[in-house]
């Protein structure tokens, strides 16, 4: 039983709508070219010296590509794990604990990866 206003806004019983659904699909679409570019980058850089790899990764376009990939993959990972936790964990206390751990883990991985990319791009 939904109100006409709820149907127009696309809001479900939890009043959250389909935001996670669309963000998950958007990041999935964004991840395709970003991950392909990263795979190509790894193939191109394979076998090169450390100095050559750092010189390539410190270019602004490559740094932006890496940051975009990290952000998109981390958001996609967090939402995907959130859906799995919400669907398969039965106890409410355990569910809340795992959701918090998922968010903290995603933030930690994102911060460490962003720090590493910025450090390479701007030097140490």
- In this predicted model, what pLDDT tens digit does every residue of 54-87 receive, in sequence order? 999 999 999 999 999 999 999 999 999 999 999 9
pTM to 2 decimals? 0.81
Q: What is the pLDDT of residue 9?
A: 62
Cα–Cα distance for residue pair 13/15, rounded to 1 Å: 5
| Average per-residue pLDDT for the chain | 90
Domain range annotation of the chain:
19-122
User: What fold is seen in the domain 19-122?
Assistant: 3 helical TM bundles of succinate and fumarate reductases (1.20.1300)
> How many CB atoms are closer than 10 A to CB 100?
10
pLDDT of 40 over the 60 cut: yes
- Where does the pLDDT of residue 50 fall: very low under 50, low under 70, confident under 90, or very high at 90 and above? very high
* Block residue for tokens 């850089």: 45
* Block residue for tokens 């959130």: 82
């Amino acid at each position: 039983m939904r109100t006409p206003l709820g149907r127009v806004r696309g809001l479900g019983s939890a009043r959250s709508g389909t935001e996670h659904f669309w963000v998950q699909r958007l990041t999935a679409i964004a991840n395709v070219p970003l991950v392909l570019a990263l795979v190509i980058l790894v193939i191109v850089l394979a076998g090169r010296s450390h100095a050559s790899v750092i010189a390539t990764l410190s270019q602004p376009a490559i740094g932006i590509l890496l940051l975009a990939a990290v952000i998109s993959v981390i958001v996609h990972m967090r939402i995907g794990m959130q859906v799995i936790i919400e669907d398969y964990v039965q106890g409410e206390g355990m569910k809340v604990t795992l959701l918090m751990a998922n968010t903290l883990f995603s933030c930690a991985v994102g911060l460490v990866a962003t720090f590493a990319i910025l450090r390479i791009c701007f030097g140490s």
